[in-house]
Amino acid sequence: MGIRIWGHRPHIMSLGDIHTPVLLERCVELLAPALTREGAVLVDATLGMGGHSEALLKRFPEVNLVGLDRDQDALRIAGERLAGFGDRVHLVHTVYDGIDAALKESGFDAADGILFDLGVSSLQLDVADRGFAYSQDAPLDMRMDQTTGPMASYVLATYSEGELRRIFERYGEEKLSGRYARAIIRSRDEVPIERSGQLVDILVAATPYAAQRAGHPAKRVFQALRIEVNGELSVLERAIPAALERLPVGGRIVVMSYQSLEDRIVKRELARATASTSPAGLPVELPEHAPRFRLLVKGAELASDEERARNPRATPVRLRAAERVRDAA
């Protein structure tokens, strides 16, 4: 099975537009022990434009890649970038909780290494008509997979004030959620909110001057809408346990998060996987209750000052990693 690319969208970006992958060398270092096995399989669960995958395919010439992405533009660009690796590359159009099916479709039963680079990609941020960036006026789409699902404009047009407040509080951790929800309801009664520039104007007008000095009023609302439209947190809650189950002993997982809500889920799932299941009070831990995984990184690892200066997109990253040390009982 070779590279497969879905969709026939116009070439809105080229290989020359590709950005530097975040924490590239650290990801290679952490995954390396799992990828030196003969016939090793790497799952890049958030393929994006293929930067991490390209580096890993070059460093480990026997590795097979299963690359997942819900964004067909990303699959096209990554397919062009990775074409030289031939039948070592298998690209699958799916959300990252679809690891099991993607592996099976690609002809594999397990993955030796799994990489997640979460959040919105450079491709999605930099292409204006996707509507992810509050700094550019564009249709309020925000779908990572533009072939399915409701757009952000639909959420703004149909959600009640309470529903809008809920997602702004939960997914944006926005203190002015109620004020913003009310302002959106008032505005949409006059004219549909269909462009990012409209939404930014509404949010700025609803923000007290003192609060505007703390950061752009639209930042957290746009994050919340993106998460709601794409179901990102519910997908992640399914994806991490599914990924861990596909790792054999010695297999490794690396996850990079860019905001606290993602990182909490990753931290929680890795804590569960690395905890003993021994009943309280046992004087000695029985082998069947020993942890199935061990952490490879203490806490969440941050990008260095040097990398942040070189690659500003690395500034908020939180990296966590683990290795499977025991089969399931």
117 annotated binding-site participant: yes
SS (H, E, C) 105-146: HHCCCCCCEEEEECCCCHHHHHCHHHCCCCCCCCECCCCCCC
Rounded to whole angstroms, the Cα distance separating 125 from 63 reads 30
223 marked ligand binding residue: no
In angstroms, the CA 35 to CA 259 distance is 28
Q: 71 a known binding residue?
A: no
50 belongs to an annotated ligand binding site: yes
293-295 and 318-324 strand pairing: antiparallel
Query: CB neighbours (10 Å) of residue 106?
Result: 20
Q: Which amino acid belongs to residue 157?
A: A
Helix (H) or strand (E) holding 150: none
154 is annotated as contributing to ligand binding: no
* Cβ atoms of residues 74 and 46 within 8 Å: no
Query: Is residue 52 annotated as involved in ligand binding?
Result: yes
Binding-site residues, in ranges, read 50-52, 69, 96, 117, 124
Binding-site residues for S-adenosyl-L-methionine, in ranges, read 50-52, 69, 96, 117, 124
